[in-house]
Every structure is written in structure tokens, then in C-alpha cells.
Chain A
Amino acid sequence: MDRNLQKSEVDELKQDIQKLKDELRRKERLLFELQQKPLENCPYNNIFKRDEIVRYSRQMIMSEMGTDGQEALKNSNVLIVGIGGLGCPAALYLASSGVGKLTLVDYDTVELSNIHRQILHSEENIDIPKVDSAYAKLKRLNHNIKIVPLRQLINNTTVERLMKSTKYDVVLDCTDNVATRYLLNDACVLNNIPLVSGSALQMEGQLTVYHYMDGPCYRCLFPVPPPPETVTNCGDGGVLGPIPGVIGTLQALEAIKIIIKSEGILTSRFLIFDGASSTFRNVKLRKRNKDCEVCGDSPTILTLINYEQFCRSSAHDKVVDINIVKPEQQVDVEYFEKCKGTSLVIDVRPELEFKMCSLPSTINYPFTKLTKNVGGFTEFLKNQAKTTENVFFICRRGNDSQRALNYIQNDVIDSNLNVYNVKGGLRDYALKIDSNFPIY
């Protein structure tokens, strides 16, 4: 059978199945909501139904919570932005504790590489919106509360609309990039809402509460955003599942404490969790800065600004593709596939990624190693390329390989080597040549 014809048929079927699944999810949700019996009134308590008393009894009988605290939870409105590694555990605990209305915002769909840490999503949820997957799980966990799944991008317009529609008691920042963190900070300050901010990477996590009582906001601590080249995302740096698990769980805890007006909230303090040594460090921070541009005594930021411009980075954690080598040095994966058998192929990914998966007969020379000793690398190159003059550079997405190529450009100019970049890298190789190669 014609390969292309078969491919279009497969794509069409996949789309049909996706549509049917969406429809199925919608109907299941409808049925589920119709079948829920309203809780029966309890003659023994005016506020809570019988089942609520039983369900929440273990936390309600504590003096820290009591019936007042539980009632405050029941009447509360919580916004969770980002339903990933942090948002999933946070949403689990907030839903189970009886927060009255939980709004979940995320635009992404579930990927296989998410579910080692994003514990609300499972294998059958792949390719469906994260908020839908989360909604389904949380509804089964606690059908007595209102859960609002919103599949939308986080930008000034959507955040302003959210803030206008509801008075949130607390917002959880479970996002993955700097621009969105400033956006949420400013929106929370302008609307006077405490912001529980968590972050996690590799083996470390960080947690604090911004804009609560006389504590600082994100801008008080970091008036200037970090240089974009110093920011690592989970896709590049990696993260161990329990790390955001711990931090997201603690975010839920701080949110509950804010709602029930506990003392001991993590304001003017910063919690650092080092999973590698199983240590927590709790440090004392400055108070609110009276000169802060947004929460100070005479603020200059009175409406949301352009955050991507301010941070010089985009409001997502996806890698933006670059194009920095000469057009004649750019080759596509099809061309690369034809030549690779008779050429030298240098894979510039980190050693651990190369070990995880690599094309046969390619040589690993990490970009970071290369930048430390360019001379050493060009020597290596000339020694390796004895039987060929064609050298292909490849990496995960085709960005570092371009950087590598540019790095050595001047050193190979007088040699007889032809150096090429494989456009789109191993990702394109997996998409267009061999789907058995893992996209990660």
C-alpha cells in the first residue's frame, strides 16, 4: 500500500478518535453531574451536610481547623495556574480538603514525558487537555466541590478576565517560566490576593508566599528579571517527580492556612528543599519594599505590563528554535539520512542524554565540553575525519548543534572539512525518518 496514503488515513482516523473521545468525556461529565445526588441536609448541623461532616471530620476536629476553618474552606475560591508537576499535587489536596471552588488553568495537553511527576494525568489522558484530565480525577475524588477547568493560555487578557470574574482568596503559581511569574505577581498585588509560589528543578524545590500581610512580593525580592540564559526549564534540566510533589503539596498547605487564617504562614520567609540531601532550609527574607514598583507606597506599575518584553523571554517553557548558521550549512534530516553512513556525525548533547538514546555510529562530544576547549575539539575533529570530509552536527532539537558549528567556524575554515547542521535535530529525525527514535 502507498505509504503516504496510509499515513493520511491513519491521521484522519486519529483525529476522528480524538473527536469521539472529547465528546465521550463531555457526556461522561454531564452524566456524572446529573447523577450526583444532592447531599441531604443534616438535622444536627446548620452549615454542613452529614457526609461533609464525616468526610472532613479528621481535619475539622483539630483546633487549627475547627468548623470555622472548614466553613472558610467551603466558601473559598482558589485559582491554580499551571496543572503540571506542582499544580497536580496542589489541586489534589485542595480538592480533598473541601475548598469550595477550585479553578484550574492550563493550556497544555498531557504528554507521556509529563506523567512521571504530574500525578493527576495517566496513560489514557495523553493528548487531552491537562485541565480536563485533572477535572475528571478531582471530581471522582470530591464531587461536593465546584471545579472549573479552563483550557487557556496565561496572558494579560486571560488573567485580567479571571481576576474580574471572581474574587480569589488565594492564587497558586504552579507555572514554569519567569514571564508568567511576574505576570501573576503583579496581577495578585493589583487585586490584593496572596500568591503561593512554588518551583522545582532537578533535586531542588523552592517555596514562598508573596504579597501577604507586610511580606514582600516577587518584585520586592527580584526587581530585575534574571538573564534568560541563566534560566533552565524542566525539559532541559530534568526533575525528579517527588520534588514538585513535595513543593506542590506544601503550596496546598500554605493556601489552606491562608484561607483559615492560620499563623505561621510562609511570608517574609523562603523555604528551600534539597531532595539530594533531604534537607529543608527556612530563611528569613526582607519585608515589603516601600519603593517596590508594584507593591510599594507609590507604585509605578498600575496595570499589567508586557512581561515577555520585560523578561526578554517567552511565557512558556518550550525551547524557541534558532537559525544562526549559513543556509548552505543547514541540511534536513532526509539529506542527513542519505549521507550519514559515509560521514562523521558529532552528537553535541550532554553525555547522559546520549547514553539514553543515540543514533548508531555517532560520536558524542557535549557542547559544554566543546566550548571549554575549542582547539582541543578541532584537533579531535581532524583526527576523526580521516576518511571523510563531511561532518554533521546533531543534537536534540538542532539548536546546540548550530551553536557548536558557529563556535568552531573559524578553526575549521582552513581545513578541507565541510561542516553541516542537521536541522531540527533528533526530534525531526524521529518525526520524519524513524518514529522508533524517542522524542523526549
Chain B
Amino acid sequence: MKITVEFSGGAELLFNNKKSHDVDLPDKDTNWTIANLLLWIKDNLLQERPELFLQDNSVRPGILVLVNDTDWELLGCLDYKIEPRDKIIFISTLHGG
């Protein structure tokens, strides 16, 4: 299943400084959820220091997750079932001023 995964707000630094990744998730018997995707990202995209991205099987505090420009909180968070061509964005919040 082809989807797009994007990182911004500094989260991209953990992914070779690349903001947008077109990925092809391998077929599996059950639906792909964001929970599955996080593990897949950890094994396949993440380049360094996983603790700066993941914590307790979810994203670490301070990262906002969006599915097709909508807060994942409105879509079931970790349980959201990923559809082909979904665009999933992980935004690290900025604090500078």
C-alpha cells in the first residue's frame, strides 16, 4: 500500500533531514494501523535516537500526528486504519520566538 509520510518542525532531523517520504507498506492480513506504522517507521525510516520520536508505543509528547491534514485524535489515534494514498504527517512543535 502506497502512502506518504512527512516529518516537520525538526522531526525530519531523525530521518536524514528528509521531510517527505513516499513509502510502500508491505501487504499483511490485517489492516495497517498507525500503531503498526510507527513500528514500521522505527525499523525502516528512523535513522537515529528512537527515544526522540517514540515513547511507550506511541509518538513522544510534543509531536502532533495528522492524517490528511486532520488531527489523529479525531480519527482514533493509534487505531486509525490507514488507507492507500493517505498522507501522514508528524510535526514536532516549535518553541522558539
Contact = CB atoms under 8 A, between A and B. Distances in A.
B10 interface: yes
Given A227-B61, A230-B52, A84 B97 contact: yes
A230 B69 contact: no
Interface stretch (A50-58, A169-177, A293-301, A428-436): A169-177
A156 interface: no
Interface of A: 82, 84-87, 173-178, 181, 198-202, 204-206, 221-227, 229-234, 237, 239, 244, 270, 272, 274, 281-286, 317, 372
B8 to A, nearest CB: 6
A222 B52 contact: no
Interface stretch (B21-29, B34-42, B88-96): B88-96
A244 to B, nearest CB: 7
Contact of B94 (A84, A200, A224): A200
A283 B48 CA distance: 28
Nearest to A118: B97
Contacts of A226: 60-63, 92-93
Contact of B69 (A173, A177, A283): A283
A361 to B, nearest CB: 31
Contact of B91 (A174, A223, A272): A272
Interface string B73-97: 1100000000000000101111111
B96 A233 contact: yes
A201 B64 contact: no
21 contacts: A173-B97, A174-B97, A199-B95, A201-B94, A205-B94, A221-B64, A222-B62, A222-B93, A226-B92, A226-B93, A227-B52, A227-B55, A233-B96, A272-B9, A272-B91, A283-B66, A283-B69, A283-B89, A284-B69, A284-B74, A286-B73
A200 B97 contact: yes
A230 B97 contact: no
B70 interface: yes
Contacts of B66: 283
Contact of B70 (A227, A229, A274, A283): A283
A237 B96 contact: yes
A237 B95 CA distance: 11
B52 A232 contact: no
A286 B97 contact: no
A29 B73 CA distance: 51
Contacts of B95: 176-178, 181, 199, 201, 231-233, 317
Contacts of B63: 226
Contact of B93 (A206, A233, A239, A283): A206
Contacts of A199: 93-97
A369 to B, nearest CB: 12
A224 B62 CA distance: 8
B14 to A, nearest CB: 10
A317 B91 contact: no
B55 to A, nearest CB: 8
B97 A272 contact: no
Given A224-B61, A230-B92, A201 B71 contact: no
Contacts of A181: 95
Contacts of A283: 66, 69-71, 89
A227 B71 contact: no
A158 to B, nearest CB: 18
A368 B97 CA distance: 25
A236 to B, nearest CB: 9
Contacts of B10: 201-202, 204, 230, 232, 237
B70 A225 contact: no
Among all A-B residue pairs, the 3 with the closest Cβ atoms:
A226-B62, A224-B61, A199-B94
A270 B62 CA distance: 14
